[in-house]
Amino acid sequence: MKRREFIATAAALNAAVTYLTAANVRSSSIGICTFSCNLQWQAVRQNKGNTAFDDASSFYDYVRGLGAQAVQTSFRDLDPQRLSALLAKSENDGIGLEGDIRLPKSSTELETFEHEVKWTRQTGATVARATLMGGRRYEVFHKFEDFHDFYRDAKKRLEMVEPILAKHGLKLAIENHKDLTFDEQALLLRQISSVWIGALVDTGNNIALLEEPNQVVESLAPYAMSVHLKDMAVQPARDGFLLSEVPLGTGFLNLHRMIATLRASNPAIVFNLEMATRDPLKIPCQNDDYWSTFPERKSTHLDAAMDLVKRHPVVQPPPAISGKPPDRQLSEEEANNRSSLAWMHKHIA
């Protein structure tokens, strides 16, 4: 960057910060995403009753009570009346909303996708989270060719939706979702090269792909439109290791460094808590099949990952839900969220 370009860019950034300050807008917000309350949502879907919420509007009320200043969720199931009421509440409370939408798999689903984009924008949301796939790379793909086809198709899908996002003014934040390595995702975003498509940076997911967490965050930060903030714990296990989300401040991630990095790239970014209360995930990195989509990485990543596990013994037992009654599962989920949001209020000014 030339000196005059740097000065112009710095002036523009300073002007933006001044505007935000004058408008009494936080430089970044403390939010929570749907998956932090996944056990509650499961109870809703199973019609178990006595749940704390049953749709996006009551979810908003619930997480506001937990202390969140922003909410990331899907609005697709709200009718016009409830959508309008949610918008009025969020505007009155000064609470930010982010969407959670599903990418179309083919052109036949574009009409449904555009409807969801328009619906999300009617809440006032300007950013929505999406994933390229729901599963985990090492569980879904068992041949390199299959992964390659998925990666190529992902680019086509993003190119297909980009004009719709631009038309309605919604930014799409693609989560690193245990599917792409950080360099694969960065390359994909460079190839798309659109202000409407960027990254939702998850601070812990790529540990499952044996990537160093700080390097992941720092590589994806230039594309960051939203965040899933989580802390992590690891434990040795047969065939690899166990990976767990843990209440913020109790794991081994350098959260302060990550927050500073993401804020530097996007001062107005929302840090959405994603505290998944569940059994630890098995990362079978010592099985040959795990490496089927990136065999060349075994010699460069396996030893470092197992050393990381060895260097970070758990401080306290990570969350687990197996064998516990549903009421206790739900109470522990809420306690983990409350603890993590309290950490965020203390450490994210």
pLDDT digits (tens, 9 = 90+) for 30-50: 999 999 999 999 999 999 878
What is the radius of gyration, based on Cα positions, of the chain? 20
> What are 289's two structure tokens?
């099949």
In a domain? residue 225: yes
> What are 9's two structure tokens?
């860019």
Which of left, alpha, beta for 111 (phi over 0: left; psi -120 to 50: alpha)?
Answer: alpha
pTM here is 0.91
Question: From edge to edge, which strands make up the β-sheet containing 281-283?
Answer: 231-237, 240-246, 281-283
Residues in the chain: 349
In a domain? residue 310: no
> What are 229's two structure tokens?
């903030």
Res. 28 pLDDT band, cuts 50 70 90: low
User: Given a cut of 90, is residue 14 above it in pLDDT?
Assistant: no
In a domain? residue 11: no
Q: pLDDT at position 25, please? A: 38
Task: List, in order, residues 6 or more apart from 5 with CB less than 8 Å away.
Answer: none
Q: pLDDT at position 12, please? A: 35
In a domain? residue 293: no
Distance (Å, rounded) from C-alpha 331 to C-alpha 51? 11
Pick from 170, 94, 73: nearest CA to 82: 73
Strand partners, 232: 245
Q: For 147-153, what is the mean pLDDT?
A: 98
In a domain? residue 307: no
User: Given a cut of 90, is residue 4 above it in pLDDT?
Assistant: no
**What's the domain range around 206?**
25-233+244-279+322-347
Task: List, in order, residues 6 or more apart from 3 with CB less than 8 Å away.
Answer: none
The string of pLDDT tens digits covering residues 324-336 is 999 999 999 999 9
Pick from 113, 116, 129, 139: nearest CA to 175: 129
In a domain? residue 316: no
Residue matched to tokens 């929505």: 128
| Total number of domains in the chain | 1
In a domain? residue 313: no
In a domain? residue 153: yes
Distance (Å, rounded) from C-alpha 321 to C-alpha 313? 21
Domain containing 204 — which CATH number? 3.20.20.150
Res. 62 pLDDT band, cuts 50 70 90: very high
Element (H, E) at 128: strand 127-130
Q: Name the 3-class secondary structure at 32.
A: strand
Instruction: Average the pLDDT over each of 19-23, 48-52, 212-216 and give the range with the smallest value.
Output: 19-23
The string of pLDDT tens digits covering residues 191-214 is 999 999 999 999 999 999 999 999
For the CA atoms of 6, 348, 181, 287, what is the dihedral angle to 10 degrees? 160
Please report, as a single letter, which amino acid is at residue 292: S
Pick from 293, 92, 80: nearest CA to 178: 293
